[in-house]
Amino acid sequence: MQSTTIRRAVAQDAQRLTSLIQQSRAYQGQYASIISGYRVTAEYIARHGVFVAVDASDRILGFYSLVLEPSELDLAFVSDEAQGLGIGRHLVEHMIVQAGEAGLTSVRVVAHPPAEVFYRRMGAKRVGTVAPSPPKVAWERPELQFTIPTALQAITATR
């Protein structure tokens, strides 16, 4: 992985995050409806734990959004050109640390079906299936859960 930094997203990142989502090859074809018209807004960034992976020139390689209540990995995307470089792994590892620092014991993920293998490889366990919710989501989605290591949860308790 080249020089990659993860930083907190700022309002000015909103359009670039929206573009990353809209251009994702993972959401073309049968999965296109779920992102149709979706926008990441400055308000969303301010309200949630949104973190971006950037290269040395501040090009966004990927991002995630951790919602604390209820705890959920709401969004996670890696740009098409950064696929296979370890960016997704780096983002998930960062998310787990952030969750631990927030005192969370677990983080739910309702996954894009093709992404289930990745999340399981990262340590998430499948806990169920989320039913379709037409018209945007016409397919079942795997429901997974990351268990946050107790040592990470203890970080919050000692602060």
CATH 3.40.630.30 fits 5-157, yes or no: yes
Q: How many CB atoms lie within 10 A of CB 83?
A: 14
pTM greater than the 0.85 cutoff: yes
Beta-bridged to residue 73, according to DSSP, are 66
Q: Please identify which residue in the block is written with the tokens 């997203």.
A: 9
- Given this model, what pLDDT does residue 1 score? 46
- Given this model, what pLDDT does residue 30 score? 85
Q: How many CB atoms lie within 10 A of CB 59?
A: 13
Instruction: Divide the 159 residues of the chain into consecutive groups of 10 and give the mean pLDDT of each group.
Output: 87 97 90 90 97 96 97 97 96 97 96 96 97 91 95 56
Query: b/e map of 30-53 (b: 16 or more CB within 10 Å)?
Result: ebeebbeeeebeeebbeebbbbbb
Structural domain boundaries in the chain: 5-157
Distance CA 103, CA 19 (A): 32
